[in-house]
């Protein structure tokens, strides 16, 4: 194993740490024992980048107090979905005051092996790429099918989740219509 890259990285971190106290813009949390946010990374396309510093928790809240959640990263290709990664995150999360509504809403559900609903959330489906107009020519461009997009779904950490179901949810449209199962993605039990 080569040791010089590690030594250089350590040296870099040491100097950055020393210098951070002289840089007023940078977060003052370099030496904080802040929570290590990426707790688990399941089948991920690649290793996450190395971490040099993390954001401080909100005032009055210690890192350990922050809620934890699980994010499921999906590749959405039209109405087909594939799991890219599962990350555990910890943060100062909020409950949205309004759910997405109208067309293009997905209902994402964690389901047990006995089809029991464990957790769910509504998210807006990945939107079509906007083709930015050319401000000079007026920008008539040719429509092309959008490329697959990655989306993230944050759900509570629950025991016994067997699969992640993605439904096209039309309950908020007018007129409302039943949801339609688009994908049922098995989850690693570990």
Partner 1 sequence: MNPRLISFLLWLTVLSGGAQSTLFTVQNNGPRSKRINFVFLSEGYTAAQLPTFAGHVNTAINYLFSREPWQRYRSFCNVFRIEIASAQSGTDNGSAGTTATTYFNSGFNTPGVTQLLTIDSTGQNRAYALMNTHVPEYDVPIVIVNDTKYGGSGGNISITSTNSSSAQIAEHEIGHSFAGLADEYDNDYPGYTPSEKPNNTAVTSRNLIRWRSWIAASTPVPTPENGAFGSAVGLFEGSMYRTVGQYRPHDNSLMRNLNRPTGAVNSQQFVISIYGQVSPVESYTPANLTRNVTQSLQTLEFSVAPKIPSLSPPLTVEWRMDGQTVSGATATSFSLLSDMFGNGSHTVSARVKDPTAYVRDDPADLLGETITWTLNLSGQLPETLAKWRTAYGPDAANPTQDGYPNLIKYALGLNPTQSIASNQRAYGGTVGNPPAMYQTLTVPRHLLRSDVSYLVEVSSDLTSWNSGAGHTVPLTDTSTELKVRDATPMGTGRRYLRLKISAAPP
Residue 176 lies near partner 1 (rule: CB under 8 A): no
Beta carbon of residue 30, minimum distance to partner 1 (angstroms, whole number): 10
Footprint (CB under 8 A) of partner 1, residues 38-67: 38, 44-46, 48-55, 58-59, 61
With respect to partner 1, which residue has the nearer C-beta, 100 or 120?
100
With respect to partner 1, which residue has the nearer C-beta, 28 or 117?
28
Residue 5 lies near partner 1 (rule: CB under 8 A): yes
- Long-range CB contacts (< 8 A, 24+ apart) of 24-29? 26/53, 27/53, 27/55, 27/56, 28/56, 29/53, 29/54, 29/55, 29/56
Footprint (CB under 8 A) of partner 1, residues 143-162: 143-152, 154
Residue entry with tokens 């949801």: 179
Q: How many residues make contact with partner 1 (CB under 8 A)?
A: 77
CA atoms within 13 A on the CB side of 50: 6
Residue 102 lies near partner 1 (rule: CB under 8 A): yes
Residue of 78, 113, 117, 129 interacting with partner 1 (CB under 8 A): 129
With respect to partner 1, which residue has the nearer C-beta, 67 or 186?
67
Per-residue contact string for residues 68-97; x = within reach of partner 1 by CB under 8 A:
-x-x-x-x--------xx-x-xxxxxx-xx
Residue 177 lies near partner 1 (rule: CB under 8 A): no
Residue entry with tokens 């005032």: 59
Residue entry with tokens 């904080």: 32
SS3 state of residue 16: helix
Task: Say how far apart CA 13 and CA 19 lie, in whole Å.
Answer: 10
With respect to partner 1, which residue has the nearer C-beta, 3 or 115?
3
Cβ neighbours of residue 102 under 8 Å, at least 6 residues apart? 172, 173
SS3 state of residue 37: coil
The encoded tokens of residue 11 equal: 């040296």
Footprint (CB under 8 A) of partner 1, residues 14-33: 15-16, 19-20, 22-23, 25-27
Residue 33 to residues 37, 81, 114, Cα–Cα distance (Å): 11, 37, 41
Beta carbon of residue 162, minimum distance to partner 1 (angstroms, whole number): 23
């Amino acid at each position: 194993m080569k040791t010089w890259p590690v030594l250089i990285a350590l040296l870099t971190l040491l100097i950055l740490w020393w210098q951070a106290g002289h840089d007023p813009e940078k977060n003052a949390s370099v030496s904080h024992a802040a929570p290590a946010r990426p707790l688990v990374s399941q089948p991920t396309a690649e290793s996450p980048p190395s971490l040099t510093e993390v954001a401080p928790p909100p005032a009055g809240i210690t890192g350990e107090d922050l809620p934890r959640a699980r994010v499921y990263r999906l590749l959405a290709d039209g109405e087909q979905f594939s799991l890219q990664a599962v990350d555990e995150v910890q943060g100062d999360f909020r409950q949205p005051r309004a759910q997405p509504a109208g067309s293009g809403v997905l209902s994402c559900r964690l389901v047990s092996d006995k089809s029991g609903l464990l957790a769910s959330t509504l998210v807006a489906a990945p939107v079509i790429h906007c083709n930015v107009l050319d401000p000079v020519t007026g920008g008539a461009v040719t429509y092309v099918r959008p490329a697959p997009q990655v989306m993230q779904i944050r759900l509570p950490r629950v025991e016994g989740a067997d699969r992640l179901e993605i439904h096209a949810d039309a309950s908020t449209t007018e007129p409302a219509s039943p949801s339609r199962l688009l994908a049922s993605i098995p989850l690693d039990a570990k």
